[in-house]
Amino acid sequence: DTGVSQDPRHKITKRGQNVTFRCDPISEHNRLYWYRQTLGQGPEFLTYFQNEAQLEKSRLLSDRFSAERPKGSFSTLEIQRTEQGDSAMYLCASSPGLAGQPYEQYFGPGTRLTVT
């Protein structure tokens, strides 16, 4: 049973650089979510996809952030012109996601970003 995977697990970058993270969900799951978790806090919702459609974006997702799920399978999260405040754990989750049904979300191990 393959769970949610994320790559890379750790990323150190200099302020102003662009970074891209990848998430591979559980294969039969059509919903994919991105969350951000800063030290001592719970995860905060960033965005989610139903198949390839991006259905909701948080106000936390500034113009420097973009997410894609081009074929309804894996997803990428890109941060342009990184700032020190972007340092956080970026978590990806997936769920079966039939409309009108609540499902638990399965989380990946996360990508820890450090901006120096």
Partner 1 sequence: AQSVTQLDSQVPVFEEAPVELRCNYSSSVSVYLFWYVQYPNQGLQLLLKYLSGSTLVKGINGFEAEFNKSQTSFHLRKPSVHISDTAEYFCAVTGFQKLVFGTGTRLLVSP
CB of 107 to partner 1, least distance (A): 4
| Residues 46-105 contacting partner 1, CB under 8 A | 48, 55-56, 91, 93, 99-102, 104-105
* CB-based contact 18:82 (threshold 8 Å): yes
Q: From the list 41, 51, 62, 116, which residue makes contact with partner 1 (rule: CB under 8 A)?
A: 41
* β partners of residue 48: 33, 56
Which two tokens mark 30?
């059509």
Peptide bond connecting 70 to the previous residue in cis, omega within 30 degrees of 0: no
| Residues engaged in binding partner 1 (CB under 8 A) | 4, 33, 35, 40-45, 48, 55-56, 91, 93, 99-102, 104-110, 112
